[in-house]
Chains A and B, each alone.
Chain A
Amino acid sequence: MEIRVLFFGVLAEVTHTMFKHYRDIASYSDLMFRIRDEFPEIIHYNYRIAVNSEMVNEDPELKNFDEVVFMPPFAGG
């Protein structure tokens, strides 16, 4: 699968990017492995995941061209 990944807030700073494309992704676990391998610092931060603008729990089923978003705790206002 091809997956687009977005990083927001402090995570965009830590990864030095706001978005990345990953190809040949087999599953959510595979994607997480690739991201943690590329950006090992990310494990020190709290974040929630959204897929196509919807919050998801652990291990969601991904489809080709899904957008996976890494979101630190919200701080609006």
Chain B
Amino acid sequence: MKIEENILNEGPVTQETISYWLSIMGKNKNLGGHSIFIGQVRDDVKGLKKVIAIEYSAYPEMAKKEAGNIKQEILKEFPDVKDLHILHSTGRVMAGEVSLMVLVSAGHRHQAIDACAKTVELIKGKLPVWKKEIFEDNSHEWVHENPA
């Protein structure tokens, strides 16, 4: 498996992109399970304002490096995992659109499912990505999920 790869995707992760990854994962017939996580932008209401989009920014060089570290950590903890793909949006993603895809393939289902869940948590904590919520009136608010 390629450890370092560009995981950043300008704009939303489209259905076509997700379909592409789903179409190629079946080519390795040694695999018994694939687990996928699709992260979608929610139209939360903050006070009286509704979120219409999230704008993501990232530090690309470090994101690539950290994605490699995440993959290595997953492979060490879940030796049955044979493939792992991450796609994270940058730029504006509208509510209802997809901003994150994690796809994990393994010999058996348990490690595919557990590794997928763990990967999502590692992305939240370690990937140098920032987001601001854009409201209907075009104002915005930065989201600070993980304390520095």
Residues of A within 8 A of B (CB): 6, 8-10, 12-13, 46-48, 50, 53, 69, 71-77
B79 to chain A, nearest CB (A): 26
Q: Known pairs A13-B142, A50-B59, A71-B148. 8 more at Cβ < 8 A? A: A9-B130, A47-B148, A74-B125, A74-B126, A74-B130, A75-B130, A77-B39, A77-B99
Give Cα distance in the complex from A9 to B88, angstroms. Answer: 16
Contact A48 to B148, CB < 8 A, known contacts A8-B128, A69-B62, A72-B130: yes
B127 touches A76 (CB 8 A): yes
What are 15 contact pairs spanning A and B, CB under 8 A?
A8-B59, A8-B130, A10-B142, A46-B147, A46-B148, A48-B148, A73-B146, A74-B129, A74-B130, A74-B145, A75-B145, A76-B129, A77-B39, A77-B129, A77-B145
B57 touches A8 (CB 8 A): yes
A73 touches B144 (CB 8 A): yes
Residues of B within 8 A of A (CB): 39, 56-59, 61-62, 65, 88, 99-100, 120, 123-132, 142-148
Chain A hits for B88, CB < 8 A: 76-77
Tell me if B's interface is mostly helix, strand, loop or mixed. Answer: mixed
B126 to chain A, nearest CB (A): 7
Residue of B nearest to A6 (CB): B59
Give Cα distance in the complex from A67 to B85, angstroms. Answer: 29
Chain A hits for B129, CB < 8 A: 74-77
A53 touches B130 (CB 8 A): no
B142 touches A9 (CB 8 A): yes
Chain B hits for A50, CB < 8 A: 59, 62, 128
